[in-house]
Structure 1
Amino acid sequence: MKINVEMMPEYEIAYIRKIGSYGLGNIQTMEKLKTWAMANALLNDESIILGIPWDNPETTKPEDCRYDACLIVEKDQLINYNDVKKGKICEGEYAVFDIEHTAEAVEKAWHELFMELSIHGYKMDDSKPIMERYANKMVKNHKCEICVPIG
């Protein structure tokens, strides 16, 4: 897997949270966010969508796992939809894995990324979430990224 290290800035986000086991419901939540964003003219070539699984399914009951589908927005962006909340992602250093934008590639990356971190001498920062990053420019080229906080 291709890996780069980058300093991510603090981001303002609009997000929809799903609680329950990870899988198909995550995709449905992402689609709900994209539908809302399109209806509010917030999606364009510069848009970045994040998928954030907050819990480790090996240590959290599936029915308690939290997943946020997020859109990076401007600081003063008004949010006018009941299911969409506003939040922030803290700045920090991240190991960024460049992968194919397919379900199989994303699943494979999730199984291999911790070993890859270790091979490259990085240690995960548990105080920040791992994020799947879908920049429209990359998605158009069938690519996406998994961003792992390191410290």
Structure 2
Amino acid sequence: MNMKIETISTYRIAYFRRVGPYGAANYQTMQRLKEWAAAEKLLTDTSIILGISQDNVETTDPQNCRYDAALVVPKDFQDDLALIGKLRGGKYICFTVQHTAEAMTKAWADIFHELSNLGMEIESRPTFERFTTELLREHYCEICILIK
């Protein structure tokens, strides 16, 4: 699992939200986003898709956890189906992970221990998975966590 520290700009996003326990059901929300984006002809070689975990499972009841499947969109983008919002930027540590269920599960289980070993403190803001066309072609994605 490779990692890098990156300053990420604030993203303007179009998104679909699911409320409930994180896990396999998030896949359906992501599929809905991808189908909508394809129908709207919004997917290009430079598209960035995000899977945003809005809540900390240690402090939020699983039934109340919010997951947003999002597409980074231009400042002037408007739509009647998708919600529009922002994902605030900042200093993130980004882990490149093989995009398989097994690798993702292991990464999420190991990352916070790894951050502790590195002496890094995390901010209490949403974490997200970032998918770019380039990474997906190689069957990878990034897990991005805001750090202090």
TM-score range, shorter-chain basis?
over 0.9
CA distance in 1, matches of 2:45, 2:17: 24
CA distance in 2, matches of 1:75, 1:109: 33
Residue of structure 1 in register with 2:33 after alignment: 33
Name segments (4+ residues, structure 1) moved above 6 Å: none
1:131 equivalent to 2:133? Answer no
Q: Describe the superposition over 1:25-69 as per-residue Cα deviations: whole angstroms up to 9, x where unpaired.
A: 200000000000000010011111100111222332221111000
CA displacement at 1:2 relative to structure 2: 1.2
Within 5 Å, which residues of 2 pair with 1:1-151?
A: 1-81=1-81, 84-126=82-124, 128-151=125-148
Q: Which amino acid aligns with 2:65?
A: C
CA distance in 2, matches of 1:68, 1:10: 16
Q: Describe the superposition over 1:98-130 as per-residue Cα deviations: whole angstroms up to 9, x where unpaired.
A: 11011111111111111111222211011x211
Root mean square deviation, CA, Å:
1.0
Q: Which amino acid aligns with 2:140?
A: K
CA distance in 1, matches of 2:116, 2:63: 30
CA displacement at 1:136 relative to structure 2: 1.4
Q: Which amino acid aligns with 1:7?
A: T
Q: Normalising by the residue count of structure 2, what TM-score does the alignment of the two structures yield?
A: 0.96
CA distance in 1, matches of 2:25, 2:79: 23
CA displacement at 1:75 relative to structure 2: 0.5
Q: Which stretch shows the higher mean deviation, 113-122 or 54-63?
A: 54-63
CA distance in 2, matches of 1:80, 1:41: 15
Stretches of structure 2 lacking an aligned partner (at least 5 in a row):
none
Stretches of structure 1 lacking an aligned partner (at least 5 in a row):
none
Matched positions, count = 148
Task: State whether residues 50 and 128 of structure 2, in contact with CA within 8 Å, keep that contact through their aligned partners in structure 1.
Answer: yes
